[in-house]
Amino acid sequence: MAAARRLIGFNLLTAIVLGIGGWYAGWFGAHAITGPSLDWFSAADYNEVSVFMAYIGGVIGFLAGLGFLNYPFARLRGYPPSLREKETGGWSRYFSLCTDHKVVGIQYLWGIGLFFFIGGLNAMLIRTELLRPAHQVFPAGTYLTIVGMHGTMMMGMMSSGILGPFANYFVPILIGARRMAFPRIEALTFWLLMAAGGILTTTIFFGGFPTGWTGYPPLESQANAGMDCYILFFALVGISMTLLGLNMIATILTMRAPGLTWTRLPIFVWGVISTASLMVLAAPVLIATLGMAAFDRAINTTFFVAGGGGSNYLYQNLFWVFGHPEVYILALPGFAIVLELLPVFSRKPLWGYRLAVAGLLGVTLLSWMVWQHHLFVSGINGDLRPFYMLSTELISIPTGFTFICGMMTIWRGQIRFTVPMLFCLAWFFNFLLGGLSGVFLSDVPSDVTTHGSFFSMAHFHYTIMGGLIFTFFAAVYYWVPKMTGWQLNERLGKIHFWTMFVFFNSTFAPLFALGFMGMPRRVVTYDPSFQFLNDWVSVSAFLLGISMLVFLFNLVWSLAFKKVPAEANPWGSRSIEFQLPSPVPVHNFDRIPVFTDDPYGYGEGPAPQWVVPAGAPAGRE
């Protein structure tokens, strides 16, 4: 009965109901306004204005149902500021607006995980179609929708793949704070992302979209109403990323505990700053670009229409101004996780701390200057190609800093091959191949052949899946026991690692060869001579999928059935989060800690006692 009563109120259930209500209100409202009189506005079988208004209404209803409007209204009516949403206890806070950063972190983990699996499922469908050179399983339009859904879902969701769950959970703890700077905005970023994921999934009811994750016009302008779902998805992801980044920067700048100087900051926090600054500056470009695209579709503006005063080059330029920093939004958290975990499992200080920071910041800076390397053969600014070739290749210098710092950290260490460590070591292998294949793509003469081929597809899967997803799992195995209070099974973890590592490479390495042999991306048919390698790749991809199921099984088995309590510090880490109980208590610290050193002093004497043990007088903010 008590559980049933919890269903009433501001929570996910209410949000879904109000979201659907808002959707229909927007749909019929927009039809009532534009429908009869402005039919000529759109050359579509759908009234695009209604589609956009419906989803905007839906998002507003969804957020209202979660209770995001309560606080602004309360403030308008003169109530004092509060963080009341934090006090809600029990399981139901995971399904509602909660301002505890630790709850948001766990919400992110499961929410993003859900869409990661949907995206992965799409990859399985793609590989099923490509088992034979002839067009076989799916209609061509459906196939393109699957390709687009896979790319868009992965890019959109995994942009927050590490900052969402792990930075939200651990950055306040690592900097000795009790919360994020803007806890309500923190919750908003998560629920916006879930609304976005829902919207992208509904594209299938509107005929899907044919453009892949890049959404180039004019193809975008001629697409079905499913394209609107893509636009809304990415715009909402952009808003979520901007706010997430802003929140992270504000938190790290203003809320560090006494003694936590910039050179004592854990390297993971530096990675978060780098990523967050890219998010804050890049995602608004995406939002604006998609806004223009939406106007082009709904009310026949011509921002991207050649001959109407616009240009589809404009879209390509703007998209990659966002898109290239975006790939570093995906990659940089991986660098940071690797550098954060290697000292723990080599029991040595992080080697070259300042160089490592310089590497992260150097990549952040350079990633703004390279976007036209996606457009080397497009005919755009042909005379600037040497510059973009140089700037792109320069990125390997700060990336190399990460390599040398990581390598020198394990050098002469006491290496323990735990599951998180294995994933970090795999990062070196994957990112080495991913980075060096990027050299071919950055060189214009080589890029003429490799651009738009399976080679570039293999390249970015090596950097993003091999770089981000592997370190994502390193972080999961390293931190989830701390977050949930339950141990993950180590044997299953090792099985997961080895199957994932082997089948990841066996899936993506042959794609380099296929690209070199001339297979273009996003095709539904291919030359029969490519069949053997494609079949090899497909079978490997299915086995890679099974490896993910091993992980899922481990998660469910360990967290729901086995429930072995996790120790406070299972890894012998000197980092502050491991000096706290597992799971971390609601207010993190009894008293705000004072930092006297960085967390990497392995071999330099006993760990400093940053955390006042429980039982000391509790300080509340």
Site for other proteins in 565-584 (CB under 8 A): 569, 572-574, 578
Whether the ω angle into residue 218 lies within 30 degrees of 0, i.e. cis, is: yes
The CB-of-471 to other proteins minimum distance in angstroms stands at: 17
Element (H, E) at 195: helix 183-201
Instruction: Specify the residue, 172 or 349, whose C-beta has the smaller distance to other proteins.
Output: 349
Residue among 193, 214, 225, 424 nearest 326 (CA): 214
Q: Which stretch binds other proteins (CB under 8 A): 174-182, 234-242, 510-518, 557-565?
A: 510-518
Q: Is 374 in the site for other proteins (CB under 8 A)?
A: no
Give the count of residues interacting with other proteins (CB under 8 A).
104
Instruction: Specify the residue, 121 or 517, whose C-beta has the smaller distance to other proteins.
Output: 517
Q: Is 494 in the site for other proteins (CB under 8 A)?
A: no
Instruction: Specify the residue, 38 or 390, whose C-beta has the smaller distance to other proteins.
Output: 390
Residue among 229, 197, 195, 196 nearest 210 (CA): 229
Take residue 311 and report the two structure tokens written for it: 């240009």
Classified as helix, coil or strand, 189 is helix
Instruction: Specify the residue, 456 or 507, whose C-beta has the smaller distance to other proteins.
Output: 456
Site for other proteins in 588-617 (CB under 8 A): 601-604, 606-607
Instruction: Specify the residue, 276 or 457, whose C-beta has the smaller distance to other proteins.
Output: 457
Instruction: Specify the residue, 146 or 180, whose C-beta has the smaller distance to other proteins.
Output: 146
Are 287 and 239 in contact by the 8 Å Cβ rule? The answer is yes
Candidates 128, 378, 489, 531: give the one binding other proteins (CB under 8 A): 378
Name residue 502's amino acid: V
The CB-of-406 to other proteins minimum distance in angstroms stands at: 10
Candidates 10, 191, 353, 479: give the one binding other proteins (CB under 8 A): 353
Q: Is 511 in the site for other proteins (CB under 8 A)?
A: no
Q: Is 523 in the site for other proteins (CB under 8 A)?
A: yes
Torsion-angle region of 88 (φ positive above 0: left; ψ -120 to 50: alpha; else: beta): beta
Are 538 and 531 in contact by the 8 Å Cβ rule? The answer is no
Task: Write the CA distances from 425 to 51, 96, 480, 512, integer angstroms.
Answer: 47, 38, 19, 22
Instruction: Specify the residue, 243 or 341, whose C-beta has the smaller distance to other proteins.
Output: 341
Site for other proteins in 294-323 (CB under 8 A): 305-307, 312-313
Site for other proteins in 128-167 (CB under 8 A): 135, 140-141, 144
Site string (161-200) toward other proteins, x via CB under 8 A: ----------------------------------------
Q: Is 447 in the site for other proteins (CB under 8 A)?
A: yes
Distance CA 283, CA 275 (A): 11
Exposed (0-12), middle (13-18) or buried (19+): which is 509, by Cβ within 10 Å? middle
Site string (421-440) toward other proteins, x via CB under 8 A: ----x--xx--x---x--xx
Q: Is 449 in the site for other proteins (CB under 8 A)?
A: yes
Instruction: Specify the residue, 6 or 521, whose C-beta has the smaller distance to other proteins.
Output: 521
Candidates 352, 466, 481, 599: give the one binding other proteins (CB under 8 A): 352
Distance CA 209, CA 289 (A): 18
Site for other proteins in 239-278 (CB under 8 A): none
Q: Residue 307's CB: how many other CB atoms inside 10 A?
A: 7
Site for other proteins in 204-243 (CB under 8 A): 210-212, 214, 216-219, 221-224
DSSP 454-522: HHHHHHHHHHIIIIIIHHHHHHHHHHHHHHHSBPPPHHHHHHHHHHHHHHHHHHHHHHHHHHHHTPBTT
Q: Which stretch binds other proteins (CB under 8 A): 81-89, 161-169, 183-191, 388-396?
A: 388-396
Candidates 28, 41, 516, 542: give the one binding other proteins (CB under 8 A): 516
Are 419 and 490 in contact by the 8 Å Cβ rule? The answer is yes
Site for other proteins in 26-85 (CB under 8 A): 43-45
The CB-of-244 to other proteins minimum distance in angstroms stands at: 29
Distance CA 193, CA 234 (A): 10
520: β partners: 453
Site for other proteins in 389-408 (CB under 8 A): 389-390, 393-394, 396-397, 400-401, 403-404, 407-408
Candidates 410, 458, 584, 611: give the one binding other proteins (CB under 8 A): 410
DSSP conformational letter for 614:
B
Instruction: Specify the residue, 39 or 527, whose C-beta has the smaller distance to other proteins.
Output: 527
Q: Is 522 in the site for other proteins (CB under 8 A)?
A: yes
Q: Is 518 in the site for other proteins (CB under 8 A)?
A: yes
Distance CA 437, CA 60 (A): 44
DSSP 266-312: -HHHHHHHHHHHHHHHHHHHHHHHHHHHHHHHHH---TT-BTTTB-H
Task: Write the CA distances from 2 to 7, 90, 340, integer angstroms.
Answer: 9, 12, 43
Candidates 31, 385, 494, 591: give the one binding other proteins (CB under 8 A): 385
